[in-house]
């Protein structure tokens, strides 16, 4: 009875803490400007099924995809057992879902196999990060102390949680065997290890209790660790894919405020719509392009909370491959760090801040903005807008849109484009061509052109 009460209190605190953190993150994301992305629900659900639930883009790299798939499915299925643990914990029942009979047996069996696969996959992931050092996971300006530690913490916790589950199952199974009754469910792996902890009832009971509590407390702790971690993607991947861009990747958004200005220039009778008003009834003056996080849309900020720092974007970036400073992953990680610096602290602890961790290898300034304070013009000007990063991202993050918005600020608000680009702009303005050729020569290519007449 006391156990049940303690459990209930712990569960309420853990869930409450999680909700409190989620509200902070929501507030952070809402620093971004509003943008309606409610169109085409059918297509959006389709993308969510394929890309988020179906992991379609993960399979561009099959080996990590298969291992990740084990962990992903393990997470989904093992949650059913977590539900049982919650009910058992609150009401003092024992394996309450056991009434489902054969269904429960299959569920528990699948659970055990998945738990083993999760352990194997996480172990291989640890090796990839720390021993074979897969370049995209081990190197890069943004892969400073915290992201590496974060990854190792996640993988270790997942392994330990699964081990706790096995400890509970093995000792539970052995106690049932000793008592001569049958435990509901089937436990193919624990059954093979049934004698692991000996046959002393007291010891077994302690281990089972410890395993059970450790597993559930571990899950509560892990849940509250998520908002501080890249592992938050397990939640954010789904809404992020749902709200991802449906238009062809080549379409960059149209800046509406500029459209009204130009229409007014071309047609003096054109009446631009009245500017939107803020809560105090003052017109909202929006910058052209983005200097800081509030100049990005909520979706661009949501991207930052979805990133799991896998580095597939950076790994295919032509600028990064050829040694330029640009790393699309850094753009997204910087956005998250800046969002938390400027807005709320979602975390119980404060691990994410760029400037507090590791050596600073990109020459940022002391400006308190995303641009220059985190992301430098040199990085932005290295982008070829090739969309390789966007194509590579397993959770449909649009790194390119943020790069372009930051570029827009440099050009439109600061006139700070590289001088050669300014020359190109003047050519377009003066002669309607990207090069300094007179417009009157535009049709000269057609001179003296012959075609062979075939019979």
Q: How far is the CB of 282 from other proteins (least distance, A)?
A: 25
Measured distance CA(231)–CA(305) in Å, rounded: 9
Could you tell me if 304 and 370 are in contact, meaning their C-beta atoms sit under 8 angstroms apart?
Answer: no
Q: Does 455 bind other proteins (CB under 8 A)?
A: yes
Q: Does 363 bind other proteins (CB under 8 A)?
A: no
Q: Does 90 bind other proteins (CB under 8 A)?
A: no
- Residue 440 token pair: 């009157």
Q: How far is the CB of 372 from other proteins (least distance, A)?
A: 15
Neighbours of 140 (CB within 10 A): 20
- Residue 423 token pair: 């020359």
Could you tell me if 287 and 414 are in contact, meaning their C-beta atoms sit under 8 angstroms apart?
Answer: no
Residue span binding other proteins (CB under 8 A) among the ranges 65-73, 143-151, 316-324, 360-368: 316-324
Beta bridge partners of 371: 375
Residue span binding other proteins (CB under 8 A) among the ranges 97-105, 123-131, 203-211, 433-441: 433-441
Choose between 177 and 385: whose C-beta lies nearer to other proteins: 385
Q: How far is the CB of 404 from other proteins (least distance, A)?
A: 6
Q: How far is the CB of 319 from other proteins (least distance, A)?
A: 7
Q: How far is the CB of 245 from other proteins (least distance, A)?
A: 11
Query: Which three-class secondary structure state does DSSP give residue 261?
Result: helix
Q: How far is the CB of 121 from other proteins (least distance, A)?
A: 25
Q: Tell which positions 211-240 bind other proteins, by CB under 8 A.
A: none
Nearby residues of 230 by Cβ (< 8 Å), 6 or more positions away: 147, 150, 151, 154, 307, 308, 309
Q: How far is the CB of 403 from other proteins (least distance, A)?
A: 9
Tokens 């960059």 belong to residue: 252
Choose between 277 and 434: whose C-beta lies nearer to other proteins: 434
Q: Does 319 bind other proteins (CB under 8 A)?
A: yes
Nearby residues of 148 by Cβ (< 8 Å), 6 or more positions away: 129, 138
Q: Does 58 bind other proteins (CB under 8 A)?
A: no
Could you tell me if 219 and 339 are in contact, meaning their C-beta atoms sit under 8 angstroms apart?
Answer: no
For helices 2-29 and 298-306, the axis angle rounded to 10 degrees is 130
Question: Burial, 131: exposed, middle or buried (Cβ in 10 Å; 0-12, 13-18, 19+)?
Answer: exposed
- Residue 448 token pair: 């003296």
Choose between 349 and 443: whose C-beta lies nearer to other proteins: 443
Q: How far is the CB of 417 from other proteins (least distance, A)?
A: 6
Choose between 170 and 410: whose C-beta lies nearer to other proteins: 410
Nearby residues of 386 by Cβ (< 8 Å), 6 or more positions away: 318
Choose between 269 and 322: whose C-beta lies nearer to other proteins: 322
Q: Is the dihedral of CA 127, 129, 130, 134 positive or negative?
A: positive
Q: Does 252 bind other proteins (CB under 8 A)?
A: yes
Q: Does 133 bind other proteins (CB under 8 A)?
A: no
Query: Which three-class secondary structure state does DSSP give residue 402?
Result: helix
Q: Give the x-and-dash track for 286-305 against other proteins (CB under 8 A).
A: --xx----------------
Residue (of 105, 86, 112, 104) closest to 170 by Cα position: 112
Q: Does 428 bind other proteins (CB under 8 A)?
A: yes
Q: Does 282 bind other proteins (CB under 8 A)?
A: no
Measured distance CA(232)–CA(53) in Å, rounded: 16
Q: How far is the CB of 413 from other proteins (least distance, A)?
A: 10
- State which of residues 383, 393, 395, 397 lies at the interface with other proteins (CB under 8 A): 383
- State which of residues 390, 393, 395, 397 lies at the interface with other proteins (CB under 8 A): 390
Residue span binding other proteins (CB under 8 A) among the ranges 21-29, 47-55, 224-232, 388-396: 388-396
Biggest CA pair distance of the chain: 100
Q: How far is the CB of 39 from other proteins (least distance, A)?
A: 14
Q: Give the x-and-dash track for 258-277 against other proteins (CB under 8 A).
A: xx-xxx-xx-----------
Could you tell me if 344 and 28 are in contact, meaning their C-beta atoms sit under 8 angstroms apart?
Answer: yes
Number of residues interacting with other proteins: please give it, by CB under 8 A: 75
- State which of residues 1, 63, 254, 281 lies at the interface with other proteins (CB under 8 A): 254
CA dihedral 426, 432, 434, 439 (to 10 degrees): -110
- Residue 217 token pair: 């407390």
Measured distance CA(186)–CA(163) in Å, rounded: 17
Q: Which helix (H) or strand (E) holds 428?
A: helix 419-431
Q: How far is the CB of 444 from other proteins (least distance, A)?
A: 8
Residue span binding other proteins (CB under 8 A) among the ranges 148-156, 224-232, 270-278, 401-409: 401-409
Choose between 344 and 413: whose C-beta lies nearer to other proteins: 413
Q: How far is the CB of 220 from other proteins (least distance, A)?
A: 41
């Amino acid at each position: 009875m006391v156990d049940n009460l303690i459990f209930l209190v712990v569960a309420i605190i853990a869930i409450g803490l999680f909700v409190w953190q989620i509200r902070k993150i929501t507030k952070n994301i809402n620093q971004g400007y509003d943008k309606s992305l409610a169109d085409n629900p059918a297509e959006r659900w389709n993308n969510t099924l394929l890309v988020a639930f179906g992991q379609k883009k993960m399979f561009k790299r099959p080996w990590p995809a298969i291992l990740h798939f084990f962990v992903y499915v393990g997470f989904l299925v093992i949650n059913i057992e977590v539900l049982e643990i919650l009910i058992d914990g609150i009401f003092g029942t024992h394996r309450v879902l056991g009434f489902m009979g054969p269904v429960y047996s299959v569920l528990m069996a699948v659970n055990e196999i998945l738990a083993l696969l999760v352990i194997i996959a996480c172990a291989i992931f640890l090796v990839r990060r720390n021993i074979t050092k897969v370049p995209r996971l081990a190197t890069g300006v943004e892969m400073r102390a915290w992201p590496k530690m974060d990854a190792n913490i996640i993988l270790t916790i997942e392994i330990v949680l699964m081990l706790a589950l096995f400890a509970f199952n093995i000792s539970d199974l052995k106690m049932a065997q000793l008592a001569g009754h049958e435990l509901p469910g089937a436990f193919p792996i624990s059954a093979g290890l049934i004698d692991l902890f000996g046959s002393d009832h007291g010891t077994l009971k302690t281990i089972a209790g410890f395993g059970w509590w450790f597993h559930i407390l571990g899950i509560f702790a892990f849940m509250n660790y998520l908002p501080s971690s890249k592992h938050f993607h397990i939640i954010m991947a789904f809404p992020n894919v749902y709200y991802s861009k449906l238009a062809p990747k080549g379409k960059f958004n149209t800046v509406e405020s500029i459209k009204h200005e130009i229409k007014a220039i071309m047609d003096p009778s054109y009446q631009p719509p009245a500017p939107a008003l803020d809560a105090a009834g003052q017109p909202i003056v929006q910058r052209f392009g983005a200097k800081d996080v509030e100049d990005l849309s909520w979706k661009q900020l949501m991207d930052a909370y979805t990133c799991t720092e896998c580095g597939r974007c950076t790994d295919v970036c032509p600028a990064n491959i050829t040694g330029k400073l640009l790393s699309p992953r850094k753009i997204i990680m910087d956005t998250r760090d800046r969002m938390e610096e400027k807005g709320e602290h979602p975390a119980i602890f404060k691990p994410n801040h760029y400037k507090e961790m590791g050596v600073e290898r990109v020459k940022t300034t002391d400006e308190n903005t995303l641009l220059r304070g985190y992301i430098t013009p040199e990085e932005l000007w290295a982008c070829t807008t090739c969309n390789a990063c966007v194509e590579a991202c397993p959770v449909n993050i649009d790194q390119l849109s943020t790069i372009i918005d930051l570029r827009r600020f440099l050009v439109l608000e600061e006139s700070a484009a590289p001088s050669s680009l300014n020359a190109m702009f003047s050519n377009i303005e003066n002669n309607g061509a990207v090069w300094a050729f007179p417009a009157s020569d535009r049709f000269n290519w057609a001179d003296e052109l012959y075609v062979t007449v075939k019979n």
